[in-house]
Structures are given as C-alpha cells and as structure tokens.
Chains A and B, each alone.
Chain A
Amino acid sequence: MSVETISPAPIVRRRLLPRRLTLVVGAGILLVFLVLALTAPLVAPYDPIYQNAEVRLQPPSLAHLFGTDNFGRDILSRVIWGARIDLQIAVIGVLFPFLIGTTVGTVAGFFGGVVDAAFMRLVDIILAFPFLVLMLSIIAILGPGLGSFYIAMALVGWVSYARLIRAQMLVLKSSDYAVAAVSLGFSRTRIMFRHLLPNAIAGSIVFSMSDATLVLLSGAAVSYLGLGVQPPLAEWGVMVAEGQSFITTGWWIAVFPGLSIVTLAFGFSLLGDALGELLGVHE
C-alpha cells in the first residue's frame, strides 16, 4: 500500500529546543552530583560526622549554609557526602537488575517454549508482590544494611527488564530481517546478538534511567525506615528520618537532604526523557 503520509517532521522539529534543553539540564544535574561525590573530601566545608556541641540546631547561616542538626553536624557537608552513597545506590541498584533482566529476557524471548514459560511464571509471581513489601521482606531475612538492599534489589528488580526485553525480542523475532537472517543460514548466536539484541535494548536503556529514579527513592525509603544505610553515615533518606523529630524546631534538617533526592531524581528522569526521544523509544 502506498500510504500517503504527511511528514510529521515539522512538529518534531519545533520541539528540538526543549529536547536539547532536557538533555543538557538532565546531564548537567547528574554531572554536578557526580563531581560533588568524587570531590566530597575537598569541597565539603566540615567533617560530615563530626559532632560539634556548640553549634547544635543552627538555622542556615553563612557559616553553615544548610544549618546544623541536633548533634551540631553541618548539613551541607552531610548532603555532599551523602551524594556518594545515593549515587552509588542508584548505579549499583540499576546495574545488576539490568544485567540479569536483559539476559533472562533475551534468552526467554528468543528461545520461547518451556524456558520462556518458566521464567515468565516467576516474573508473574514476583510482580504479584508489592515491590517495596518484597524488598523489605528480603531485607528482614538478610538483616538491615546497604548490602541487603542491593541483594534484594537484584532479586526483585530484574523482572521489569526481563519483561521489556522479552516483549521486544518477540516482536523482532518475527520481523522480516530476522526471518531473512534465518533464511540466510546465520547462526542463532549471531541472530540473537548481532541482529536482535542491539535493536531490542534501546527501550531498556531508556527505562534504566527512570528505574534509577525508582531505585534511588527505594534506597532512600529503606534507609529512612532504618533498614538500609545505618547512621551515623550520611545518606539522604537517613537524614530525613533524623530530621523528622525536629520538624517544629529545625525544618532545615529534613528539607535539604530531601531536596537533594528530588533534584538527583529529576536529573535521571530528564535524562531518561531525552534519551527516549533521541532513541525513538516511548514508554
């Protein structure tokens, strides 16, 4: 059918500027946090866990831009050091699920049959549990701590990637170029890794960005509940929890770490949006 379409190019073109802006702002936010995390010992004005009894519960001032907490610790320094842990949470918390999920999804989607059915039942069962409930249950068994969080994340988080990749593989497997590759006698490995996976993975890469937001929020939430990063280590979720008792007397203790989470998450979301448009992937 010679379908007469009027090119939608003009509409896209007008959005080019916001798109570039999205990319720049998103990448910029991530870059700032990355630099802060890497150079924390140099740029943080104070020791993040040093307790100075003389400056307890100080509101923001020139000496302490974000104020101090009930132990007299400098909030700004703790936020900067916290970037190290929270960035690490987002990266490691995404990396393992991504690797596991992509592998499982590729194999299940490509080979189909019993392997596929078995993996997909497992996915159904894991998805039946509310995400955080299953995470917390696993952490309950392993004991509180960041390590437990990563393990729980790897055990639970891979299912989204597996489902995404599998769905893509199923579509691509029946595409004409896959059929062409089979009819040309290419090996399964070649078809899977050279022809299908590179075309299937774009969606997962975009998703990993919004997943980073989710992982970051989960990590902070788990730590807020006291089951993740343990005090006195500076982590944003922990800091919010510490500030909760002082909402009437020291709002700044909880506000600034929370704002940092929002900003970093915003950066990941923007980058995900920009990548999605760049790679032509829609959620």
Chain B
Amino acid sequence: MHRYRFILTRPFQFLPVLFGISVITFILVRLIPGDPARNILGTRATPAALANIRAQYGLDQPVWLQYFYFLKNLANGEMGKSILYKIDVLQLIGTRIEPTIALVLTSVVLSILIAVPMAAIAARNAGRAPDHAVRIVSTFGIGLPPFWLGLMLIILFSVQLGVLPVSGYGSTFGDKLSHLVLPSLTVALSLSTVLTRSLRSAMIEQLKSDVATAARARGMPESIVFWRHVVPNSLVPTINLLAVNIGWLIGGTVVVETVFALPGMGQLLVRAIFSRDYMVVQGVAMTFACATVLVNFLADIVTVAVDPRVKL
C-alpha cells in the first residue's frame, strides 16, 4: 500500500523537530544562573565530582561544543544523574513511566467512551433540549480545573462513599487499576468536553452535508445515514484534535498525578523542580516531547487509515 509508505519516510521528517527539542532542553538547563556544574550536581558536590562533570559536559568549552557533548552523552543514554534519587535519570524515568502511560491510555479510552455517545445524542437532537444540555455541560466542563475536579472526586468516592483509594499506586494489576479509576476519570472528564464539542459540531455539519442528503435521497434510514456516513466523516477532524490535545492531556497528567500522589513522570517533574534536580527536569521534558511527537505520528497513521483522500 503506497499510501502507507510515509511510515518509513516520516521519521526522517521528525529530525528537525527532535533537533529543536534537544536544543531547547539543552538551553533550558544552561540558562540557570550560577555554576552549571554545581547546578547539575547540587550544592553539596565534592570538588572531584565537579571536575568530573565539567569534563563530561565540556563546561569550560564554547557553547556549541557543550551542545555536542550533550548530544554525545544523550546518544550513549547518558542524561545525567538525579541529585535527589542518586541514580541515572534514564533509569529513574524507566521506573516512573508505567503509571503515566497507563493513565494516558485509560484516560483517552474513557474520554472517547464519554464523548462519542454524548456528541451523538446532541447532534441527533440538534437545537432541542438534549443538545442544549450537552452543550452547557461541555462548556461548563472545559472550565473544570483538573486538580480541583480530582479533589471533588476524592471527596465523593473515597471520603463519602469509601469505594476507591484516595491516592498512590498499587502493586498488583487489580490494585493498580483501582488506583487509576479516579485519576483517569478526572483527566477523561476534562478531555471529553473538548472532544464532545468538536465531535458534536462535526456531526451536525455532516448531518446537514450533501453526503447525508444524497444518502437520504437513496432511501437510507436515518440510522444508516448517521453511523455509516456521518460518523466516519466526523472522525477525521476529531482525530486531529485528539492529537493536538495530547500535549494538553499530558500536561493534565502532571497535575493529576500530584493530586493523587501517583508515582509517575508528572509527579517526578514537580518534585524535581522543587529540589532543583535539573537533570531530571531536562530528562522528563525531553521524554514528554518525544512521546508527543510519537503520538502525532500515530495520529497521522490513523488519519490515513480513516480518510482515503489523505496523502502524506
């Protein structure tokens, strides 16, 4: 299938963006005032360790050479050491990545499960009471701060009803899942409002479209018109919206992980910022950025699969 040939060529087009990501994360850490070596190692570093790090990053060299050393270390899987946890940043990220991935996946699935029926109900009753209700709820939902929504869910489900754990992350699969319910519900409720609005207006537009009229003109009942013509045609813009929002979603997990004390990358980032653990900040930011690029790539593949007109 030549339309999918871009899967092989696309990654090369990401090179400029990946280059940009590395430059920005590099600059971030160099912008910190003070002695870079001390910033990297923390205030209680020994002179020997300081000298060692200066050599590794070429800190007495010109900036472009420092960037070269930075890239070289990166190629070797060296993102520096965490001051707080005393281990390699890459290793640290490895131990924290699972809850975040789990949270993002469950949130996306949950938000689609919420958004598609809501949008369908609204669109098929456009201009009537159910539509107004969905519109008001989703407009209201966009303004829900995830950190506050999370707290409210804790008050309701954990404090009042006592059915779900307040915070943390378990060790067994079932335990983990029960710890994920509230955090992913929090993220999904926020994300689904955006999706619902987009899907709703896309569906309403498609219901009025020539494609729908033509389908009705050949005697198709409204249910076939909706599920076989309106929905597939509404998905394309929504997939793109989901991809664009994935960055926003990951940002949301940073806050939500903090609310629920979920030991993921977001919580790691916030802790690292407070303890001035700059190598961790740099590593986490870079991982998040690469993940976003990857997600957009996946969205491209899905778009091509859904819409035969798209050529990449």
Direct contact of A and B (CB under 8 A): yes
Q: Which residues of A contact B (CB under 8 A)?
A: 11, 14-15, 18, 121-122, 124-141, 210, 213, 216-217, 220-221, 224-227, 237, 240-241, 243-244, 247-248, 251, 254-255, 257-258, 261-266, 268-270, 273, 282-283
A sample of 12 inter-chain contacts (CB < 8 A) reads A18-B132, A125-B23, A130-B251, A139-B273, A140-B28, A217-B143, A261-B143, A262-B143, A264-B143, A265-B143, A269-B140, A283-B201
Q: How far apart are the CA atoms of A133 and B284 in the complex, in Å?
A: 9
Report the number of A-B residue pairs with Cβ-Cβ less than 8 Å: 159
For residue B219, CB closer than 8 A to chain A, the reply is no
Inter-chain contacts of B182 with A (CB < 8 A):
none
> Least Cβ distance of A154 to chain B in Å?
15
With A15-B127, A220-B145: A133-B21 Cβ-Cβ less than 8 Å:
no
Most chain B beta carbons < 10 A, residue from A225, A257, A268: A225
A225/B258 contact (C-beta < 8 A), A133-B288, A141-B31, A248-B159 known:
yes
- Contact yes or no, B284 A266, CB < 8 A: no
Contact A141–B143 (Cβ < 8 Å): no
Q: How far is the CB of B161 from chain A (nearest CB, A)?
A: 13
Taking CB atoms, residues of chain B closer than 8 Å to A247 are: 151, 154-155, 159
- Counting CB contacts under 8 A, is B47 at the interface? no
The contact of A141 among B28, B146, B152, B289, by CB within 8 Å, is B28
Do A125 and B247 contact each other (CB < 8 Å), given the known contacts A224-B255, A225-B255, A240-B148? no
Query: Would you give the shortest CB distance from A39 to chain B, in whole angstroms?
Result: 24
B174 on interface, CB distance cutoff 8 Å: no
* Interface of B (DSSP majority class): helix
Name the interface residues of B101-124: CB closer than 8 Å to any CB of A.
Answer: none
Residue of B nearest to A251 (CB): B155
Query: A221 — which chain B residues lie within 8 A by C-beta?
Result: 145-147, 255
> In the bound complex, do residue B154 and residue A217 qualify as a contact, i.e. CB atoms below 8 Å apart?
no
Q: Whole-angstrom distance from the CB of A121 to the nearest CB of chain B?
A: 6
